[in-house]
Chain A
């Protein structure tokens, strides 16, 4: 007698064996070996219910909405002063990063005091993560503005300024990406690479942003899930920098 394969038994368990040309139920009932195998599958899949889902609080929906709602609106137009401050902060972080890299990573040939390399390296890591986190936040602001603006309101976007910001971010990103590649932080390097390509497209975008251009950009952002990746990575960076 030909026994049922594991795949056939799994399909039978889920009631999806109809149309397979085999009466799995009859076979299992009459075949001790397949019955034993089927029972084993039942036992294992039966205990999967142990994977409990925690109950959410009663006000879960309201809390969730309070996180979503502000992000459904286009960002407030008064971003310029904040942006200026953030650019300055980014420049300081980049400078600190460069120092940290040279002291903690790139110049390991100097034999300082015994515990110093660990401390230097940790400080370098922290600065790197802070700087990358800040960079990601600033990139996110540019992309959010584009993602959240209705294509019928394309004129609300200060497009020449947006392009300049994207261009600045591109020049900055290379340092972080190369550092991430150098330190083997490939997950970071991949996200930065994806982000870099999007920013490059924005920086080299048309002189005037048409609704169609914006729609295409938004589709690209959605398709790549780039904003989500940035948020996950940025949150990681902040946690790791603490």
Chain B
């Protein structure tokens, strides 16, 4: 039987690197999915995953074992992803201000993984979805990803973002509103 997260955390705290490695192996793909959806970019997501585990390792001593390790790691990962999105946005704004007529910053364009079998429509749709997501503020994006993709309830979203549930709800609502504005023309049924 595989050891529980709690048992691994206890061993990692006492300096067993293999135990921490087991935690990394167990949770890294889930954290990557979260980070990718929040950042929209593979490289940023990989950086976020690495940073999240490093922060978790450094904070293991303060981890309250009554909470789930996964939930705690999620919170750390969310914060790392938010830091990344905010830093990228500030850079983009600075670059846009410095070069008003220049090309769009690469940082604003999420990575598109080439997939030959993908149809033109789904490529267009995916591009539109990514563009719409990039229009959300960092908090709106984080709240929406946690609610929509990760299936967290609003209260959990609030805890993960360290804000009140009302503020988390508000961020999700604003995100949905913006997504509707951007995507509805694409998905509206054709009326005869």
Contacts and interface: CB of A to CB of B under 8 A. Distances in A.
Given A51-B130, A64-B50, 5 more contacts: A7-B169, A44-B184, A54-B42, A54-B111, A68-B50
Question: Interface range on chain A: under 10, 10 to 19, 20 to 34, or 35 or more?
Answer: 35 or more
B97 interface: yes
A71 B147 CA distance: 33
Interface of B: 17, 20-21, 24-25, 28-29, 32-33, 36-37, 40, 42, 46-47, 49-51, 53-55, 57-59, 79-80, 83-84, 87, 90-91, 94, 97-98, 111, 113, 122, 125-126, 129-130, 133, 147-149, 153-154, 169, 172-173, 176-177, 179-180, 183-184, 186-189
A43 interface: yes
A177 B49 CA distance: 29
Interface in A177-204: 183-187, 190-191
Interface string A157-168: 000000000000
- Chain A: interface secondary structure? helix
Q: Which 5 A-B pairs have the closest CB atoms?
A: A187-B90, A61-B25, A43-B187, A50-B126, A50-B129
A92 B53 CA distance: 36
A40 B129 contact: no
Given A48-B148, A64-B24, A184 B59 contact: no
A6 interface: yes
Contacts of A69: 17, 21
Contacts of B125: 47, 50
A114 interface: no
